[in-house]
A and B are shown apart, each in its own frame.
Chain A
């Protein structure tokens, strides 16, 4: 018997081409959308009801609102309101969340407020703000702030509590000022929690702003939805919802995920 050298050529690791990677990333969500469209069309044909318009009808409404720029303008108005309210909610949540996570007395003091904030429906904040502020920029900002801040605060508290206490101890020994600790230690350590909070915040803010725009404002996607509802145009309601959903998807895939990849690139370095 001859000695067979126990050697095997190293299998080269297959590296995905950028195009293949992009296709793999895009294909599943596209397939999901396709399944939903087909399912809707089947449902519309089976039910044959004016309350469930078929895909062509909804597409026709989309063609009515998108090319004229009306959709983009109204979505821009709504997004601006969401952004303003979210900035307020974010500022409150970061300050409050850090304080609560670090101080048991403050945690006990604010706990009922946060529970109340989490349980009160967005509808209540929308109604109250319309009553208090009327047709004013304050209405959407405060309503979104009140609707989003409690959930965001909970995310921040969880983020602060997940920070490695050894790192805080190191920062204390090296006498790193609080402002530098916040910028270089606390916020970067909380990035996953802040991003999931931002996603949650956007979805909550959208639900609140639609109500505010329905009840108290004369512009924005909520107002348009209400107009289509009043004229019993179900395809119009769906078209506005789809147009806004597409913009939100662009924000998620184009901005939030890019931001997440950028902020967590240190995790993807090869380990020695």
Chain B
């Protein structure tokens, strides 16, 4: 099993770039994501959702408290899918995946398999600029899962796509999750997306960020985006946000 993510009594303060004014984002914040669980974090803009992802990814350090990612036995393999695909445009699709698998010590064959999983095997030798936005984001998904990740962090991964493409990619992500079962933290503004993908939804509010509500999504996978139960959860999240 992959090991979870644990935020224990974390404080984090940001300084505004122009004024230098300190702003406390997290104070005494705790959250545990269990191994193999996918937790979605929703809340108003600027509440600190992305800060949580950055802390988990090691892009930022807490002022106080501890963050544990993985099982502690070895350095965790972290895959991340960003709002934009963040591909290296001068490398072919296969090389974009290979740069991550090489770093993780995973064979390149795994990258090829993952490209096939996201239905892009025939684009392996193409440059990213020849791909559509949805295809590029599929490459980003393949890159995140090709490293056999312990943890996958998702930062509004489909928000830059049109709804039809986003819907298809959510289905693809669900399939990947069923197959690989890493631990996951998803930040999204889309409450239906949270309900469709997550095992648990954490609703953040106030400032510094506080957990207002935790919603368990009991629906079995694979889920359908048309499932009425998900709309019920969506309404419950909205009620927690307003």
Interfacial residues, chain A to chain B (CB-CB below 8 A): 166-167, 169-170, 172-177, 180, 184-185, 188-189, 191, 263-264, 266-267, 269-272
For A169, A170, A269, A272, the residue with the greatest tally of chain B CB atoms inside 10 Å of its CB is: A170
Interface residues on B, range: 20 to 34
Q: Is B52 engaged at the interface, CB distance under 8 Å to the other chain? A: no
State the total of A-B contacts with C-beta under 8 angstroms: 70
A173–B58 CB distance below 8 A? yes
- Of A169, A172, A188, which one neighbours B88 at CB under 8 angstroms? A188
Cβ contact within 8 Å between A174 and B131: no
Residues B135 and A174 in contact, CB atoms below 8 Å apart: no
Which residues of chain B are within 8 angstroms of A266 by Cβ–Cβ distance?
A: 89-91, 127-129
Q: Give A175 to B100 CA distance when docked, in angstroms.
A: 8
Partner of B79, one of A166, A174, A263: A174
Residues of A within 8 Å of B135, CB to CB, are 272
B104 within 8 A of A: yes
**How far does the alpha carbon of A180 sit from the alpha carbon of B95 in the complex, in Å?**
12
Given the contacts A174-B103, A269-B130, A166 and B89 also touching, CB distance less than 8 Å: no
**Interface flag for B147 (CB, 8 Å):** yes
> With A167-B88, A174-B100, A180-B103 in contact, do A272 and B80 touch (Cβ < 8 Å)?
no
**A180 and B99 contact, Cβ closer than 8 Å, known pairs A173-B78, A272-B135:** yes
> Is there contact, CB below 8 Å, between B130 and A173?
no
Rounded to whole Å, the gap between the CB of A219 and the closest CB of chain B is 41
B131–A173 touching, CB < 8 Å: no
Minimum C-beta distance from B68 to chain A (A): 17
**Residues B126 and A269 in contact, CB atoms below 8 Å apart:** yes
Kindly state whether residue B71 has any CB partner on chain A within 8 Å. Answer: no
* Nearest opposing residue in chain B for A172, CB measure: B59
